[in-house]
Chains A and B, each alone.
Chain A
Amino acid sequence: MSDQDGNGRLSPLRERELIEKAQEGCARSAHELIGSYQDRLHAFVWRMVRNDHDAEEICQDAFLRAFQALDNFDFAYRFSTWLFTIGYRLCLNAMRRRKDYSGDVDFSALRSDGRVDETLGVFDEVANSDEAKRLKKVIWDSVDELTPPQKATVLLFYKESLSCQEIGEILEMPAATVKSHLHRARNRLKELLERQLVEDWSVVRLGVA
């Protein structure tokens, strides 16, 4: 059986094998586990906190906590679920420290921190039109306007392709609440994006593909 699926992710069997070895103190297995999840976790965390330094620190902390408590890992769950749960909690803590987020307060009225511009050079190597680039930026800006639970839900749903049930396990809430966050997020995105007077959204889709 292959160690990875089509998306380059670890197969459950391989994941279990690595966790068991890491539990016995195998540094090589721990290294492989980290390597398999670091990009996914970092993308999620970075999108949540929008700060390079914080994102790396949170990722490191999340992995350390996960490995230090590896003895208590329940094989009924995926390692990714556990890791993202720790990562999400650390994100909320970091945001609280920065006063970005307090409980259920909707800070959608706040503007994003203006860091979006520095991301523009990272992608779009394909022949995208200026309009497509503009619309991508508009979409990400709008995502940043969402509340942390809404943003986490949207990221996990679209980026990680998780079900509402799986997202609920990570965010520690019922699947129905996840759906509610997802629906509110869509309404908010619709509200924000309709102001952009875009003639053809398919331009973005073609650019992404």
Chain B
Amino acid sequence: MLMTCRHVAQVRDVYLDGELSPSLTAEVHAHLLQCPECQEQFEMFRACGEVIAKDPPEPRLDSGFASRVVASLPKANSTFGTGLQTRRSLRQRFWRLAIGTSVPAAAAVLFFAVLIWPSGGPYGQVLPAVYEKPADAVQGVVTPTLNAFEETQDAVKSLGKLRGILAADVQKNVGDARHYVDEGEGAENDGPEVTLLDVLLQPFRDVLQPIEEQDTESPDEEKIIRF
């Protein structure tokens, strides 16, 4: 059974929204073919939609509009001559500046405080006993710091040993091509002469080898591995 005008009116908006199912859309089309009244109404809506969508009666903004808007934007700093600086970038600059200046300043103050306070220096001698406790407190901060420093030194020593081992390893590999290095001197003496660069450039040995051999012909360079 074909749709009646009433049925079509009920689905009109869904149809015009483009959300009607294909089967019902086909039924609407079938009704429109045999109903001039409904056809005229739908034609009117189509005309409205097309005029609103495609008919451009609105005046256009002049070509300088965008430039005027950009010129009106806040300009705290200029990146591109007429650039604008957003609030976020201003905030970032402020915090960068604040952190960059305050942290070293605080570190310097702490350093000088540690330096003069507990050692009985010029100020320590005149300070009354009431300041002894704060001095202890500072000591409490300083001691772990010194301990940490010592630990760091130990770590550096360990790293040095590790480097020595690595260097010896490199020396051994390099030694295949440089017999004269190991023969003359002990590995212990040669170890420190092997730089970190040796370790890093080890993979390139094969490529660089001919040049090295030429270099090592010089007596001064015999015991030193350099690049």
Does B52 have its Cβ within 8 Å of any Cβ on chain A?
yes
Pair A25/B89 contact, Cβ less than 8 Å:
yes
Q: A116-146 toward B: CB 8 Å interface, digit per residue (1/0)?
A: 0001101100000000000110011011000
Q: Is the CB–CB distance between B86 and A71 below 8 Å?
A: yes
- Residues of chain B within 8 A (CB-CB) of A173 are none
Residues of chain B within 8 A of A59, CB atoms compared? 61, 65
Query: Which residues of chain B have C-beta atoms less than 8 A from A10's C-beta?
Result: none
Contact B67 A31 (CB under 8 A): yes
Q: Are the CB atoms of A202 and B79 closer together than 8 Å? A: no
Any B CB within 8 A of the CB of A189:
yes
B40 to chain A, nearest CB (A): 7
| Shortest Cβ distance from A119 into B: residue | B57
CB distance from B142 to the nearest CB of A (A): 44
How far is it, in angstroms, between the C-alpha of A120 and the C-alpha of B53 when the chains are bound? Answer: 16
**Total count of chain B residues near the partner, CB < 8 A:** 46
Instruction: Identify which of residues 150-203 in chain A touch chain B, using a CB-to-CB cut-off of 8 Å.
Output: 154-155, 158-159, 161, 164, 179, 182-183, 186, 189-190, 193-194, 198, 200-202
Given A24-B89, A59-B65, A183-B13, A64-B72 contact (CB < 8 Å): yes
Q: Output the nearest chain A residue to B45 by Cβ-Cβ distance.
A: A186
Residue of A42, A56, A201 most packed against chain B (CB within 10 A): A201
In the complex, whether A35 has a CB less than 8 A from a CB of chain B is: yes
The verdict on B70 contacting chain A, using a C-beta distance below 8 Å, is yes
For the complex, is B159 an interface residue (Cβ under 8 Å from A)? no
Complex interface bits, B147-169 against A, C-beta within 8 A gives 1, otherwise 0: 00000000000000000000000
- Pick the contact of B66 from A38, A47, A122 — CB < 8 Å? A38
In the complex the two chains form, is A186's CB within 8 Å of B58's CB? no
Asked if A204 is an interface residue, CB under 8 A from chain B, the answer is yes
CA distance A34 to B64 in the complex (A): 11
Select B47's contact among A56, A135, A154, beta carbons within 8 Å: A135
Q: Does B17 contact A (CB under 8 A)?
A: yes
**Are A193 and B79 in touch, CB under 8 angstroms?**
no
Q: Min CB distance, B12 to chain A, in Å?
A: 8
Docked complex Cα distance between A132 and B90 (Å): 56
Measured in the bound complex, the distance between the Cα atoms of B81 and A201 in whole Å is 54
Residues of A within 8 A of B17 (CB): 164, 179, 182
User: How far is B46's CA from A205's CA once the two chains are assembled, in angstroms?
Assistant: 8
Known: A27-B82, A64-B72. A208 touches B58 (CB 8 A): no
Please encode chain B, from 37 to 69, with 1 for each CB lying within 8 Å of some chain A CB and 0 for all others. Answer: 000110111111111111111111100011111
Q: Chain B residues with Cβ under 8 A from A70's Cβ?
A: 86
- Binding site secondary structure of chain A: helix
Instruction: Tell me which of B45, B66, B86, B88 contacts A35 (CB under 8 A).
Output: B66
Chain B residues near A139 (CB, 8 Å)? 47-48, 51-52
A60 and B73 contact, Cβ closer than 8 Å, known pairs A43-B58, A135-B47, A204-B50: no
B202 at the interface (CB under 8 A from A): no
A9 proximal to B (CB < 8 A): no
Instruction: Encode contact with A along B192-210: 1 for CB under 8 Å, 0 otherwise.
Output: 0000000000000000000
**Which residue of chain A is the closest to B40 with respect to CB atoms?**
A201
A17 contacts B by Cβ under 8 Å: no
With contacts A139-B51, A139-B52 taken as known, whether A34 is within 8 angstroms of B65 at the C-beta atoms is yes
A28 interface residue, CB < 8 Å from B? Answer: yes
B residues near A, CB below 8 A?
Answer: 12-13, 16-17, 40-41, 43-61, 65-70, 72-74, 77, 79-89
A residues with a Cβ closer than 8 A to B are: 22-28, 30-31, 34-35, 38-39, 42-43, 46-47, 52, 56, 59-60, 63-64, 67-68, 70-71, 119-120, 122-123, 135-136, 139-140, 142-143, 154-155, 158-159, 161, 164, 179, 182-183, 186, 189-190, 193-194, 198, 200-202, 204-205, 208-209
Pairs across A and B, CB under 8 Å, 7 listed: A38-B61, A38-B65, A39-B60, A123-B56, A142-B48, A143-B52, A198-B44
